[in-house]
Structure formats: structure tokens, C-alpha cells
Structure 1
Amino acid sequence: MDPSKEKKQILIVNPGQFGYQSGYFYYCKYLKEEYHITFICYDQGFPKVELEGVEIHYLPIIQGKWKRFMSWRREILKLWQTGKYEKVFMVYFKLCFLLGLSIKKGSKILDIRSGSLKKSPVANFLQNQQILFESFFFDRITILSEKLREKIGFRKEKCNLLPLGADIIPSNGNDFSTLKLLYVGTLNKRNIHETIEGFAKFYHEFHSKVKVTYDIFGYGSSEDEKCVIETIEKNQLQNIVCFHGRVNHDQLKPYFKKCNVGVSYVPLEKYYDYQPPTKTFEYVLSGMICIATSTYENRRLINSKNGFLCEDNSTSFYDALKMAYHSKHSFDTEEIVKSLESYEWSNIVKSNLKPVLELS
């Protein structure tokens, strides 16, 4: 008998296109030897990422929110009703409870990647209550952090911790003689222009003493992207700071190898406090010094072995960059990686995700 026939079958449901949310890519990467995985997502028009051993179903994004959702629901249920899947692992999206209603008890796991990020306290509370309500229609919940579980109000006995992580990307060793900054992530409401302002101040003061560069990958609203570009131009940094736009995760590897200072920058707002930034893990596990804003979760992760914390303004970012410069020779790539090595994706899948999938 073909050994693949004996694998348990799992249906992973995520509206985000495969390969553009690193967590799900690595879940598949480290589960596929033991499970047959079907991944269903929208085709958002990005270049398609393939992973041998994973069957990917792409759905077109059709006009009309309700019509789109009903088509989405119909295609998911069509797959489920083949009867071959033992588990459905579904990232939270609005109205996902309507799928939870249609899938048999004991088979459905809801993955919570985020709480509400609304600025309004009332809107924030209401959205978190909606997430809580929709979770009632699933058997198990996986969630990024214990504090996020408490904030939304999930029962502890129904939840399993599934933290974010990263793969270890081999770096170029302990070469911190130049400072090569890297930011990867969304630009929406992140105020990345503040890091450029702080970088500009550092560059104009120290460029005669140390070579510095800054690569920025991501996308956002036209307003946010324009702000990044205009800040680069205003500070005359076109040859020093490069805004690349959006690329898939695999295309970033050369930059994770080349760069040695990672920027994990989110505003210091309560709704970000318990959201562990993926990039904090990715920078540190690539052996980079990490400059991170002082959220609750970043304070748990960043220490004297792997980086510096800053406030969410250009002056504080400049100060952190200056500290990185003055102490750059005290950092060791291997020690940086060791500081968070328990968060390597293979460890998280083995220790956190597989036990949930094996629950009856």
C-alpha cells in the first residue's frame, strides 16, 4: 500500500493566499510528512507559491461580499463533505461560525491570529465579543498568547497555545561592522515613516563612521506607502533606504541573510500589546539584532542578548539604533538565535500544533 494513503487528512481553511502568511506555510511544511494536507484559500493575484505534498485549492475573489462569502462557504463544505478529512483547521474570519455549524462535532479547530485592532474602545470590545461568539461553534481554539486569550475571554480549558515563530535562516555570521536594517510587514497604521526619520538622524550623524542601509518590504494603503516614499525623499536617502513593496516569504531569504538589524515596529497601543509580532521571531532566529517597540509581548522576547526596545517615535528609534551601533561588537549571532530557539517553527508544530490535531 502507498504509505501516503495511511496519512491522516486535514483541511486547512484560510482566506489569505497560500505562502503570504508565514505561519500557515510552515504549519504545512512541518506537517506534510505525517498528514495529507488540503489548503483552501482565495487567489489574491499574487504569484502562486507551491509546496510539494500540499494540495492547494484557489478560489477567485468575486464581486459582492455576501455572494463571495456564500461561494467560499459552498466550496469549503464541498471539500468537507467528501468525508475524507478528520480535522478542519480554520483561521478566524468574520462569519466563520456558519461553517462551524455545518461541520461535525469533534472535527473543527478555530485558529485565532489576532484580537480586534480597532482604535475605538467600544468597537474593539464589540469585535472581540464577535470573535468570542463565533468560537462557540468550534471544538478547540488555538491562540497566539495567554494574554490574548484572557483579553478576548476564551475558556482556558478550550484553548491551546499556538505561538508565532520562525525558521532559523543561516546568516553571514558575526559581522556587525556595517548596520543593514530590515523591515518586513504591513505598512497599514504602523507609522514606519517614524523609523525612517530616526534612521535619517542616525545616518546623517554617523555615516562617516559606519556604513548603514535600510531595506523595507511591505504594502499598505496608498496613503501609507506614499508617506514612506516621501519620507525617504525628504531626507535624501534614495540611495540608502530602499522601499521594495510586497514580495512572498521565500523571496525575502537573501535579505534575512544579508541584513543584521531587524525592525519590529508597531505603535504602542493597547490593542497591539498582546499581539506577538511575527517579525520579532524571524529577525532574532536569523541572528539579527532586533530593535522592537516596547509592547508587552516584545518585552517578553527582547533582552540584552538579542536587541533593544524603543518607544514608538523617531527619537527613541534613533536612540536604539545608536545603542546598537555602540554595542555592535558585543553581539554574537549564535547567542542571538539561541535566545529564542524554542520558537523555531518545527518545534512549535511538534509541541503545540500536532497535539491539538491528535485530540479526539
Structure 2
Amino acid sequence: MKILIVNNNQFGYHLDTYKYCECLSADNDVTYICFDFGFDKFESNKINVIYVKRDAYFISRVYLFFKSILDLIKINNYDVIFVKHFKFCFPIALMNKNVILDIRTSSVNKSKYKRFLEDSILKFDSLFYKKITVISESVAKRLNVKFDCILPLGADSFGKLDNTDYKNGFNLVYIGTYTGRNLHEFIKGLSIYINSGGVVNSMYIIGHGSKEDYDLINREVFSNGLNEVVKLTGFLNHKESYEYIKKANVGVAYVPITPFYDKQPVTKTIEYLATGLPVLATATLGNSIYINNSNGVLVGDNPKSVCQGLKDFMCLSFDNSTFELNFNSWDIVSEKLYHFMESVKHEIR
């Protein structure tokens, strides 16, 4: 099957579509078109990656991206075009019949008005697409969007780790964006725990985020004298991140407990558990589905609760060989996507 995957994220910097490409390219002709943000490029012999220059001017940037997509469609006879949603992506639905829109998330913007605007744009875009995939039923329900197929979270299992001994202190890892996650509140809780006699050897924050949140985190780190404990590494790819997971004994999945975060997919929680790493997570509905006393601790979204959660970890014993994980490998998710693409290809033609 000849597949075009469209994503405004540079190739390799959006995990889901990167994994789809990786799995689907084994038996299919896969092309991926994206903006060139100037990040390090991921090499792939099996995937045809088309980079579009990201012009400084918004209008010319958008025009060039859509023109590049249309030119590709005209030249190549793609069986299916798969579009990971980005704002105002509706013109792509008008370029070909065999187009699928993929929705990974609803808005988690702190501003009520910006959330409404961003979700409204997404719903508007979706009206132009005949075929839609979503990450979960709860996201579709929140957006009030009709869908044809659920493409759930995937995870890689690199083999079970055995780092669940806390006698010598905690080695924490947080992976993901820190924009709007209130990680500075988590750092406060970390400081309270250390000042009460607890031992934290390290916490690595892997990812990127807004300058505002970066400054909040750093201010909290330095004001509490934790600059030798808490380190921000910046963005790392999947394999590089795993090197930090191997050294950790707790994975941190910390987001505010709000209605708009409550039903969001818990990507990192599942990835931690897939490697056998117990998780300290805020008690959102999504995290509550996966976390129990056998694999982690749920906490509130405030410093005192974080401190108590770390103390609770010291009282629990984890056997990660007994972790009951309800997740799909990327191979399984990609196979589901392939079968859906096949059905779209035959149905529309």
C-alpha cells in the first residue's frame, strides 16, 4: 500500500506517527511530509521523508506546506493519506478522497477561552474529513466528534527493569512537555520531602516547554538548593530517554487535576509501566485506570501530597513481574491502523 503521512511536527519528534512509520514501512511504501524545524534529523532508509522549509512568515509558511502536499498527491497515486491533526488542516481533506484525520488530544491550555477556541478549530477541521481516528473514546466524547476507529496509545517494552529498591533514595525521571504541568509544584513537594529527612538522589526532567514554565521550575530548583538534584536535559529521543529510565526507580506522571486533563491519554504512565517502572502520578481519571498499590502511588496536584506520596513509596513493595499492564505494543496499534487504511482504500474506491 502507498501511504502518505502528513504531520506539521518534524519527523521523529512526534512519537505516535514516528512509530506508525517505523512499523508500516516494513511492508508498505511510506512517505512522511513535515516542516523542517532545524532539529537533528532522524535517518531512515525505508521511509521517504519530505521536509518543507518553515518560512518566518505564517501565511507563506502555510501556503508552501499545503502546496507541497498537493504537489505530492498529484504526482503520486497514494492509496491513503493520513493526517495527524494540526490547526486549520481542513484543506487537505479537499485534495483527495482517501484522507484520514487522526486526533491525538483535545486542548489542555490553561486558559478557558483558548481551550474553547482550540477545540472549536479542531471540531471545525474534522467536519471536512469523512474518516476519523481518535486516541480514545473519552477524547472524542469531550470534543463531541464522530469517529470511525480508535487508535489507542502504544508502548515499547524494552524488558523489565529491577530498580524498585528505595533504601538508598529516589532516582526520579519525568518525560514529556512541562508546559502547563505545574512541575514547579512538584519540585516544592520534593523539597518538603528532603527537608523532612527523605533522600532524593536525582530527578531528570526530559523534554521541553514554555519559557515561563522553564523559569518557574528553575526558580524553584535554585531557591530550594536542588540544583545538584534536579536536572533539565531538554528534548531527547525515545532511545536516549530510555537510558534515563534504566537508571530511575520511579517514573513521574504529574499533571494538574482539572476537567480538561482528567480524560487525557496517559502516554508516559503506560510507557513507564511497560518497562516495569513504578509510577508516582497525579490522581486523574486516566492515571487512576492504570495505577494501584501494586505498581505505583496516586497523589494530589500539590506539594504536600507529593511529599506524602514519596513517603508512601517507602512503605510499599513492588514486584514488577506481576504488573498487570493493559497496553498495546506499537506493532499492534500500527497493524490496527493498517487494516483501517485498507478498509478506507477499498471503501472509497
TM-score (norm 1): 0.89
Q: Quick one: which of 19, 25, 28 aligns to 1:26?
A: 19
For residues 184-203 of structure 1, what are the structure 2 equivalents within 5 Å? 184-203=175-194
User: Deviation of residue 18 (structure 1)?
Assistant: 1.3
Aligned to 2:231, the other structure's residue is in SS state strand
Q: Quick one: which of 317, 331, 345 aligns to 2:318?
A: 331
Cα–Cα, structure 1 residues 87 and 250, in superposed 2: closer, same or farther, change >3 Å? same
Aligned to 2:196, the other structure's residue is in SS state helix
User: Deviation of residue 211 (structure 1)?
Assistant: 5.4
CA distance in 2, matches of 1:75, 1:36: 19
Tell me which amino acid in the other structure corresponds to 1:355.
H
For residues 281-296 of structure 1, what are the structure 2 equivalents within 5 Å? 281-296=270-285
Task: Show CA shifts across 1:45-102 (max 9, x none).
Answer: 2111123311111112102111111100000111111233111110111221111112
Contact 1:171/1:258, CA 8 A, preserved across alignment: no
User: Which one is further off, 9-18 or 291-300?
Assistant: 291-300
Contact 2:163/2:277, CA 8 A, preserved across alignment: no
For residues 138-157 of structure 1, what are the structure 2 equivalents within 5 Å? 138-155=129-146
CA distance in 2, matches of 1:97, 1:35: 26
Q: How many residues align?
A: 342
Q: Quick one: which of 196, 203, 226 aligns to 1:205?
A: 196
User: Which one is further off, 211-220 or 9-18?
Assistant: 211-220
TM-score (norm 2): 0.92
Tell me which amino acid in the other structure corresponds to 1:179.
F
Residues 1:230 and 2:226 aligned together: no
Task: Show CA shifts across 1:283-309 (max 9, x none).
Answer: 111211111112221122222222121
Residues 1:347 and 2:320 aligned together: no
Structure 2: give runs of 5+ residues left out of the alignment. Answer: none
Residues 1:10 and 2:38 aligned together: no
Aligned to 1:80, the other structure's residue is in SS state helix
Residues 1:358 and 2:347 aligned together: no
Q: Quick one: which of 20, 24, 41 aligns to 2:34?
A: 41
CA distance in 2, matches of 1:204, 1:117: 33
Counterpart position of 1:274:
263
Counterpart position of 2:87:
94
For residues 79-158 of structure 1, what are the structure 2 equivalents within 5 Å? 79-103=72-96, 105=97, 107-155=98-146, 158=147
Contact 1:19/1:249, CA 8 A, preserved across alignment: no
Contact 1:268/1:295, CA 8 A, preserved across alignment: yes
Counterpart position of 1:62:
55
Cα–Cα, structure 1 residues 64 and 211, in superposed 2: closer, same or farther, change >3 Å? closer
Q: Quick one: which of 245, 256, 260 aligns to 1:256?
A: 245
Q: Quick one: which of 156, 159, 165 aligns to 1:170?
A: 159
User: Which one is further off, 122-131 or 182-191?
Assistant: 122-131
CA distance in 2, matches of 1:335, 1:212: 27
Contact 1:203/1:212, CA 8 A, preserved across alignment: no
What percent of counterpart residues are identical? 35
CA distance in 1, matches of 2:217, 2:108: 22
Contact 1:12/1:88, CA 8 A, preserved across alignment: yes
Tell me which amino acid in the other structure corresponds to 2:226.
L
CA RMSD of aligned residues (A): 1.8
User: Deviation of residue 241 (structure 1)?
Assistant: 1.6
Contact 1:172/1:258, CA 8 A, preserved across alignment: no
Tell me which amino acid in the other structure corresponds to 2:318.
F
